[in-house]
Structure 1
Amino acid sequence: IPSTLINPFRKISYKEERKTLKFFISVETNEILSYAKKGSDTDIDVKVSNDEIIITAKALKIDYTEQKVDKDSISLNYINSNVKSILRSISDKINYNLIIGEDVPDATVTIKQDNIHWKDAIKLIRDESNVQISIDEKSKTLLVRKNEFMKFAAPKEGDLVSFEFQDADLSSVIFLLSEISGYNIVLHPDVKDLKYKVNINIKKIPWQKALEKVVKIFALEFTVDEADKLILIAPVETINKIEMTRQALRETRIKRYKAESELYTERAKVAKERLQALMSEQKITKIIKLKYLSTFDAIKHITQLNIFKGVRSTLKEATQGVAKQEAMELKITDEAITAEVGISSINSINAIVMRHVPAIVEEVERFLASIDIPSQTTQQVLIEARVVEVSNSSALELGVQWGVSGWGVTKDGGILSYGGTRSARDTQSASDYVSTPYSQVGIGQATQGTMGATNIMPLIINMPAAVAQGAGGSFGIGYINRAASMMLDFRLSALERAGKGKILSQPKLMTLNNSPSLIRHGARVPITTPGSTQGTYTTTYIDAALLMKVTPSIVFGTKENIIYLDLEISKDEPATSSERKDILGNPQIDSRAANTRIALKDGETVVIAGIRKETVSEGESSIPYLSKIPVLGSLFKKEDKTGNTEELMIFVTPKIVQPFKQD
């Protein structure tokens, strides 16, 4: 065994075949490495004597059994070797064909591997070199190309290719030629005996020539379709039949073309005579009155239907199959005819004016008579809309006023008073209180000072309801003791209001079927905005009006008609005085609108929109803490409650108006 075999720095198995030996010896060097790391004094003695090798090592286990070798495994031991040479050696060992592209570089690699699967060896070579290696197991072929290309580009005519096949069948060879050429290759069903083997070694010839040589080996032929990049391979007899069929089709096309040319020539001759006769015919001018059809629609229909097609088709037929100069003359003739004919409209009498030869004028007149009749387009629809606004308001107020006042004379002649806003600091005498008539004591605005003949009693609680003449009511009660030293007055006031309102707007509009229409009623409100210069103003106007815009579309049915409405209804108006929030003197505009598309039966009414707005507010004015006393708390507070309800509903009713009757 060479000294390189037992290498303590390699962790792989080695095997060495000696010509003088009859068997393989395998040594696991990782076991030797374990001794080397320990630095032991292990003695290793190798002796070769005739038919045996003796290896002596302490504690070293050596397997002397013959190693089994996998049939797909190979050994690589190459140093700076050519990749192409390595691949040829591998293809020979595995019995595969080898094709190497002309652009594959002459790369070199260094590879040392034992007992490795040949596919893994191919991958290793591919990774170590700048080549791309494809394995076709069906044809048992290795295809070698430059690494940057995954497929061969299709060679041009004259490009040279080289390849080699050994014991390959036709299908495998055809597959590789398709890869090289970039063409799709189809084998005809008549192609048989594809299992025959062939050996080919071609160097630097065009791929077309290579294909020709391959198919001739199998007594075949091929045809090329350049447009579809397709090659058909078939037996010679089949190719001959295909060519004969193609030739027959070509001859048929030629005969048909000649027949069509003769027909066009004959038509051109007849058309030329017709066109010349048309030129010589006298033109007439005629006014055609319309009953239901507008002049705009009539001219549009005539233009769309190309009512002058008689002249145009005659010209087209006349210019086919004639010489170029003659065709130009016919075109000039057509332009001359067109210049002398035309259509115009007279909207005041709903008529069109037609100028042409009598035959064309009569054709136009018949055409207009067939479409100038009452139809769905002249059907009319009456749309009735009702905008209903209902408002309800209510208010409830409950208030209380009461006061107490008293006085007395102290021992030292002073005055002690209580109640309301009066106090001992008032400059009053006892006689002032005593002399106050009973009839003048009552609830009202209390003021400090001498009561006098017109003064009233001061209030402790003054929370009345907003009663006034003709609105609300009140009830009062008073008490004065005999000595007139104490007075008590109490008044209860209440107010309840309710209001109802209803506003009805009812626009009506009649329009033609499929025609948009609009109705507006209201005012234009001025809006003032400051100008760019100080002290100047700009006034613009905005619409505050009731507007209805509608487009009806009738679908006539067997039992009942359906009307589709594209409907837009809006009502804009300045807000009421109680709700207005003017800005810079400009009024607030309230807007209500609905925009929808609906389907209804003739005469059916439907609500297309509805808005309900309800506002409820409750208020309370009270004396803190005292108003919370059960039962007696009502003497120290005022309560009010208001409510407002607004409701908007929009109703629509379409009706089909009976159509016009023909005279």
Structure 2
Amino acid sequence: MLKTDKKRMLFLALVFLLFYIAGCSHTATRSGMDGGIAAPEEILEAPKRPDSLPEMPEEKPIVRIISGAEVSGIEEAQRMLSGKEDGLPGMKEMLHTIILRDVPVGFIAETLTEMCGYNVIVSNGAAGQKISIYMQGLPLREALESVCRLNDLWYREDRQVITLMTAEEYANEMVVRRNEKTRAFYMRYTNAEDMAKIIQAVMGAQVELKFISGEKVYGHVEADSSSGGGGSAGAAKPVLTEEDKKKLLALGITEKETDVVALAEKIGKALPATITVFKRNNCIVARSLDETLLQEMGRIIEALDTPTNQVLLEVKIFQINLGDEFQSFFQMDYSDPQHAEAGGGFSRGGHALSSLPGLGLASSTLGYLFSNEFIKARIQFFASQGRVNILSTPFLMSANNSKVEFFVGEETPLRDDVKVTTTQAVVTGDVGAVVTTAIDVKIRREELGTDVTISSFINEDGTITMDIETDISTANLNMTQVAVVNPATGETTLFPLDGVNKNTIKSIIAAKSGQSVAIGGIIKEQDKSEETKVPVLGDIPVLGFFFKKIIKDKTKTETVIILTPHVITHPALAGKTSGEFLNRRSSHPAVVDEKENILEYKTKD
């Protein structure tokens, strides 16, 4: 009896082994479904991995990762971006013939469960749908795909479970991974708000710029800390709408869990990054589902967040008193009169010196020089003759592509006009009407002095283009006289009026760093008369002419501006360049003798 039982058990084991080898329980490895209806084997191959990911540029800006997946190396990043996990076993059992006539989907699921050993389940929406089909000589998976394709059904294959459902139910069950990344970019030299606007302008619809309303730079230190006016975040909007899900179904996306970036690429949907500005820390906070957008922002910031170049300007403005023997500060002898051109070469000790090519001035009446040695020699020559009157020597500094203004002078009252006012008052009695005449001299106040405005632009080759505008104004007292008649007495009185003498120079020039440029050529001629007389006798009518002398003289002055720019490529070099200038120009004891304290005070030990 025992032997019979053993034989029976052995027989059952052999039958089970043969049944297993026959393929009813045979499974094949698959990598998941790529469509709402399962595709053939060659379509189900995993996507090829890229050879290598692009190397991240060296992040010079300060970037802090607030959220996002961290990887240990390039291999892990490649695996996360391109490689999928191996799929679960599929169904490859061959079906010789399948005939269905108005069979409910629920009954078909039970039959498939018995045939392949998988748990085939049906959703409530698809269980009552009836199917009619005839097929033969197909694997079980392809048969299932055909049934779903012809009846607007979808299936999802999980671990040991196959779920049949309608297209609408499948779209609602789609789970999207939102692996959002957040980065904080700290600006070193650039204004964060300006940089955010540049990023938004360059990347367009890929970036959504949001500002915090009512934000104060240092609002956290205020005593009355009222709540800010920033908008509430609210509920997060869904990344994929119902319309987007329908597009994915039409493209054959059947995976239950999918990266939202990959899905958006399939349907051409943009996933804009959100950026905002934190003014107090001068940083940009960016959040995006797409890592490539954050990388592109980092590259833009790296290229634009650079040190601001500065220009140190040495300006000297002076007037030269010219005599009959001097025509101009820029008077020179040309080395080759036959080939001389305006603004061309001139000789100095047998050496020809040419101006920089391609440089023009705003006015053809202006003269210009670009030789440091020649300019210095001319100034020393006129100074030795006592003809130089220095008006101003400002020492200015400005950032690249910016404007610097300088004014030295005073507010001067000037007599502008004379107004006569007559009033009449009626008095009762024998006095009668009283007429009062008032002469009012109008005074206007005007700032007179030296006003310099310079806009500097550093070119790629290191030269500096400067837009210069200079106004030199002085008061011209007693410039003219106006006759005023007193209506009460009929007398005529002369009242002097004042005016303004103004010299204006406007020019655009270019020069190398450290090269002096002299601009001038504005010559003013003024007739001057001086009267000397013998006291008392010179005031006698008619005869006083013989006791006084009138000397008439003509003065000629020229305004010259000497400008020397220096390029400072980094803010850290500003102190060095300024120190070199002070060593050359300053006579202050703190600079010459390197004394920290000018006045030496005796201190007790």
TM-score normalised by L of structure 1: 0.31
- After TM superposition, the score normalised by the length of structure 2 is 0.34
- Which structure has the higher relative contact order (CA within 8 Å, separation 6+)? 2
Is the radius of gyration larger for structure 1 or structure 2? 1
